[in-house]
Amino acid sequence: MNISSNKLLLAIDQLSEIGYYVWDDFVSLEDVKNLVSIANEGRLSGDFKKAGIGKQALFQLDKSIRGDFIQWIDRGSKHEIVKKFLNQIELLKDKLNETCYLGIKDFETHFAIYPENTFYKKHVDRFQQNAHRVISFVLYLNENWEDGHGGELALYPSGTIEKVQPFAGRLLLFRSELEHEVLMSYKTRYSITGWMLDKNMDLTFLP
Ligand code: OGA
Ligand code: NI
């Protein structure tokens, strides 16, 4: 990613105008392949957990709401490529702060795998239990994704519906209060999902 590119300016503009931006080729196909093998490695060694809803005492598992498996990642990762991606997000965060005054302090990120025939029902990422999420981002890792594979991210900005295909290398950015949903995915669907936070992550248990 060239952080001073036109796409950055567009992203800033679109996030404030319509609440989301689709950034194609945010990472190269070579990097996508590496990230997918790291995710598969993690899945094989049992590092992925069934994703839940809510936090701490309100945490619950419910397949009728979401069917993905996740593995949290951070700068302590042993994989250079993961660190490289997190650095790019860090740069993006700084640029968004400089231009949009969003007061972003930190971010949290995980790999997500949606097995065949899973989805994530309509929701918002910023709510009482996750009050500090400001911008959501999703890097998609699916090469040769076709229409029939489903798994689009449906966004509902101001009463309309926008469907975003989970194409390899594409980064979707959207404001965390926007309603969205992952439509039924008929093929295993890989991504790295994360949130930019207006609070330091080790403090998010505070109100
Ligand atoms: C989420 C989410 C979107 C996607 O994990 O909260 O909405 O396209 N993910 O994976
Ligand atoms: Ni979400």
The answer to whether 105 and 169 are in contact (CB under 8 A) is no
Q: Report whether pLDDT(204) > 60.
A: no
- pLDDT (tens digit per residue) in 151-177: 999 999 988 999 999 999 999 999 999
Does residue 19 form part of some domain? yes
CA–centroid distance, 125 to ligand 2, in Å, is 5
Of 17-26, 34-43, 126-135, which gets the smallest average pLDDT? Answer: 126-135
* DSSP for residue 129: G
CA triplet 71, 176, 97: central angle to 5 degrees? 95
Find the DSSP H helices in the chain. 6-17, 29-44, 80-100
Beta bridge partners of 139: 171, 192
What pLDDT is attached to residue 159?
A: 83
Separation between Cα atoms, residue 104 and residue 109, nearest integer Å: 14
Atom of ligand 1 nearest to the CA of 51: 5
Buried b (16+ CB within 10 A) or exposed e, 39-73: beebbeeeebeebeeeeeeeeeeeeeebbbbbbeb
Does residue 57 form part of some domain? no
Which strands, in side-by-side order, build the sheet including 118-123?
A: 118-123, 180-185, 153-155, 162-164
Ligand nearest to the CA of 150: 1
The secondary element (H helix, E strand) that includes residue 172 is: strand 171-175
What pLDDT is attached to residue 21?
A: 97
Residue 160, number of CB atoms within 10 A of its CB? 8
Identity of the residue numbered 98: E
Pocket test for ligand 1, best of 20, 50, 113, 138 (most atoms within 8 A of CB): 138
- Is the CA virtual torsion 174, 118, 165, 43 positive or negative? positive
Q: Output the domain CATH number for residue 103.
A: 2.60.120.620
Query: What average pLDDT does this structure show over 19-23?
Result: 97
Site residues for ligand 1, CB cut-off 6 Å: 112, 120, 125, 138, 153, 180, 182, 191, 193
The secondary element (H helix, E strand) that includes residue 73 is: strand 69-73
Does residue 157 form part of some domain? no
- Residue tagged 């029902």 (tokens): 121
Does residue 104 form part of some domain? yes
Domain with 204, as residue range(s), is 1-51+75-145+164-179+188-207
Domain count, the chain: 1
Identity of the residue numbered 166: P
In the chain, what is the straight-line distance between the N-terminal and C-terminal CA atoms, in Å? 35
Which pairing describes strands 20-23 and 180-185: parallel, antiparallel, or unpaired? Answer: unpaired
26 band by pLDDT with thresholds 50, 70 and 90: very high
What pLDDT is attached to residue 128?
A: 74
61 band by pLDDT with thresholds 50, 70 and 90: low
pTM of the model: 0.92
Query: What average pLDDT does this structure show over 118-122?
Result: 95
Does residue 158 form part of some domain? no
Does residue 151 form part of some domain? no
Q: How far is CA 107 from the centre of its chain?
A: 11
